[in-house]
């Protein structure tokens, strides 16, 4: 799985950080930062949940 | 619009609609009917106009994040909540009712303090505030009004500390906020309340500019106003928004949540007995979903023709998103009318959806997690000190809740 975040779209809701804290963080302004763009299998459900609840549809997932 | 008022107004449901007698936690029954039979439907609002009502969870999420939908309340066709809101001065607008890029520019100036880690760092002081208020209640006479003595002070103290507003002024800003969130207030009353609050914030900002401290208003004053990035008036409006949004909502969740739990003792026991922060966090999401206190809908206007649910919403037509019934959509939440603190509820839309999704949600979550995991443990025999039928609900409020909650132990 490859994880990308579209920072200009991010509205700093923090939802992704709560759903998948090992994969997402926020910078000093609260804007999303991807910590691990090829996260481990064990996090995939959480990452999918993060992408699903992101209010701004700022998280994109690809297969590889 | 092709239909005339006479064609349609008669048969259209009125919105907001009344809740069913005896079911104060459930959305109005007509919303469930619409969700099942006509999920994208016109309704009739106070001024006789007929905006669209969106009731399905999936449709709410899709459209609230659609750039063809505008939150700008100065646009023709915007479905205002009341005459008072319609009449409000455009200069009183905040980013809540602006579109990008203006909305994004202003929102980003205040996102920093609401980042998860910064809010997490406030948890000990929130816990202290909650513990102190409980100590005071336990030491005093009973019964107490939980709204006055606990539900309102918790978020007020927290937001005052964060913004740098003296808490001694809480009578003043709570009084004015009450006027703003009451649907029955007159335009003059709302304008006067808005002005009083904005003037106060403006003075406070001038003071912070001269004597900056480590709070949010000082940061706005020194980093944004002094640099010319925003005017003092814009900063004052922003301060008013944060102060208002920061205490009414959370206070209503605390009091209404407590009442809902007292009526569902099995669920209350789950909260009282758990030590697991994840279980508490999950319980908060479910209470947000189930209670959905922002019961007067998200208000928007279409910028282009939009096809949805077999209907065409034309450019310039108003749209209301009923997030309360969306949170009871059986396609998103099985057995939706059951309060089940163990269900996965994260996908609720109680904080809205799209670029306007609640800015303060991380703070609201920490406050509610601390409150719900502390209050019922420290006062395990907490109970209602009046008949359930006597409790007065905020049917006419922009935000739902209870006016008072007499409790004893
Ligand atoms: C449980 C408590 C809360 C609930 C249920 C709640 C609910 C909401 C909802 C539904 C919206 C979206 C409005 C729309 O789309 O039209 C919103 C926006 C907002 N909320 Fe909250 N809120 C809560 C607590 C807070 C707190 C504690 C703060 C601030 C400290 C806050 C600040 C804001 C702001 C500034 C916006 C406007 C965001 C924007 O337009 O970009 N809220 N809130
Ligand atoms: S969930 Fe979306 S909007 Fe919220 S912080 Fe993450 S990327 Fe940004």
The structural domains of chain A, ordered by start, are 2-62 (3.30.70.20)
Domain range for B25 is 5-408
B308 touches chain A (CB under 8 A): no
Which CATH number characterizes residue B32's domain? 1.10.630.10
Question: What's the whole-number mean pLDDT along residues B232-243?
Answer: 91
pLDDT in the model for residue B87: 67
pLDDT in the model for residue B10: 62
**pLDDT above 60 for B127:** yes
Determine which residue's CA is closest to atom 37 belonging to ligand 1: B96
pLDDT in tens, B78-95: 999 887 777 666 777 889
The answer to whether A55 contacts B355, with C-beta atoms less than 8 Å apart, is: yes
Least Cα distance to B163 among B103, B89, B113, B98 occurs for: B113
pLDDT in the model for residue B9: 52
* DSSP H stretches of helix in B264-294: 265-273, 277-291
The answer to whether B108 contacts A55, with C-beta atoms less than 8 Å apart, is: no
Question: What's the whole-number mean pLDDT along residues B332-341?
Answer: 98
Q: What is the B408 CA–ligand 1 centroid distance (Å)? A: 31
pLDDT in tens, B21-79: 999 999 999 999 999 999 999 999 999 999 999 999 999 999 999 999 999 999 999 99
Cβ(B247)–Cβ(B174) below 8 Å: yes
Structure tokens at B345: 């509820």
B352 touches chain A (CB under 8 A): yes
**pLDDT above 80 for B368:** yes
Cβ(B115)–Cβ(B219) below 8 Å: no
Q: What is the B352 CA–ligand 1 centroid distance (Å)? A: 8
Atom of ligand 1 nearest to the CA of B97: 40
Classify residue B212 as left (phi > 0), alpha (psi -120 to 50) or beta: beta
Question: What's the whole-number mean pLDDT along residues B179-202?
Answer: 86
CA–CA gap between residue B24 and residue B73 (Å, rounded): 30
The answer to whether A55 contacts B362, with C-beta atoms less than 8 Å apart, is: no
Distance from CA of A13 to the nearest CA of B (A): 6
The answer to whether A11 contacts B117, with C-beta atoms less than 8 Å apart, is: no
Which chain A residues contact residue B122 at CB under 8 A? Answer: none
pLDDT in the model for residue B88: 67
Which chain B residues contact residue A54 at CB under 8 A? Answer: none
The answer to whether A11 contacts B111, with C-beta atoms less than 8 Å apart, is: yes
Q: What is the A54 CA–ligand 2 centroid distance (Å)? A: 5
Q: Give me the interface pTM, i.e. the ipTM.
A: 0.96
**pLDDT above 50 for B2:** no
pLDDT in tens, A9-50: 999 999 999 999 999 999 999 999 999 999 999 999 999 999
Question: What's the whole-number mean pLDDT along residues B254-275?
Answer: 97
Task: Count the domains in chain B.
Answer: 1
Q: Assign B201 a pLDDT band (cuts: 50, 70, 90).
A: very high
Q: Assign B178 a pLDDT band (cuts: 50, 70, 90).
A: confident
Please report where in the chains the tokens 């959305």 appear, as a residue: B27
Cα B116 from chain centroid? 19
Cα B28 from chain centroid? 18
**pLDDT above 50 for B337:** yes
**pLDDT above 50 for B7:** no
- Is this prediction's pTM over 0.90? yes
């Amino acid at each position: 799985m490859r994880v990308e975040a579209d920072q200009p779209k991010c509205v700093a809701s923090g939802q992704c950080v709560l759903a998948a804290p090992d994969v997402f963080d926020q910078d000093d302004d609260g804007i999303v930062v991807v910590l691990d763009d090829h996260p481990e299998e064990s996090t995939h459900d959480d990452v999918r949940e993060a992408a699903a609840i992101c209010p701004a549809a700022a998280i994109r997932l690809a297969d590889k | 619009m092709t239909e005339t008022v006479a064609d349609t107004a008669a048969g259209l449901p009125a919105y907001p609609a009344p809740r069913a007698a005896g079911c104060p936690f459930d959305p109005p029954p007509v919303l469930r009917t619409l969700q099942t039979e006509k999920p994208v439907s016109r309704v009739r609002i106070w001024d006789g106009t007929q905006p669209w009502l969106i009731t399905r969870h999936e449709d709410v999420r899709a459209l609230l994040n659609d750039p063809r939908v505008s939150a700008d309340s100065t646009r023709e066709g915007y479905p205002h909540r009341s005459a008072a809101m319609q009449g409000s001065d455009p200069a009183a607008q905040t980013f809540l009712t602006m579109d990008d890029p203006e909305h994004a520019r202003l929102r980003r100036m205040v996102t920093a303090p609401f980042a998860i880690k910064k809010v997490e760092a406030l948890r000990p002081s929130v816990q202290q505030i909650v513990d102190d208020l409980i100590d005071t209640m336990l030491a005093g006479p009973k019964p107490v009004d939980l709204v006055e003595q606990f539900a309102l002070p918790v978020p007020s103290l927290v937001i005052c500390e964060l913004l740098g507003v003296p808490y001694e002024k809480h009578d003043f800003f709570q009084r004015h906020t009450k006027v703003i969130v009451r649907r029955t207030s007159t335009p003059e009353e709302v304008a006067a309340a808005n002005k009083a609050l904005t003037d106060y914030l403006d003075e406070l900002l001038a003071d912070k500019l001269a004597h900056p401290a480590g709070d949010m208003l000082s940061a706005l004053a020194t980093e944004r106003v002094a640099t010319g990035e925003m005017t003092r008036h814009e900063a004052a409006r922003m301060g008013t928004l944060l102060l208002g949004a920061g205490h009414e909502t959370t206070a209503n969740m605390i009091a209404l949540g407590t009442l809902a739990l007292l009526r569902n003792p099995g669920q209350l026991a789950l909260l009282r007995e758990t030590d697991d922060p994840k279980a508490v966090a999950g319980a908060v999401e479910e209470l947000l979903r189930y209670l959905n206190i922002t019961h007067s809908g998200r208000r928007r206007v279409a910028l282009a023709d939009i096809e949805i649910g077999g209907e065409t919403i034309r450019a310039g037509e108003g749209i209301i998103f009923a997030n309360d019934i969306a949170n009871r959509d059986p396609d998103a939440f099985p057995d939706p009318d059951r309060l089940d603190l163990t269900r996965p509820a994260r996908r609720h839309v109680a904080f809205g959806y799209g670029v306007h999704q609640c800015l303060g949600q991380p703070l609201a979550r920490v406050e509610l997690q601390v409150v719900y995991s502390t209050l019922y443990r420290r006062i395990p025999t907490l109970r209602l000190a009046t008949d359930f039928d006597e409790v007065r609900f905020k049917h006419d409020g922009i935000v739902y809740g209870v006016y008072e909650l007499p409790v004893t132990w």
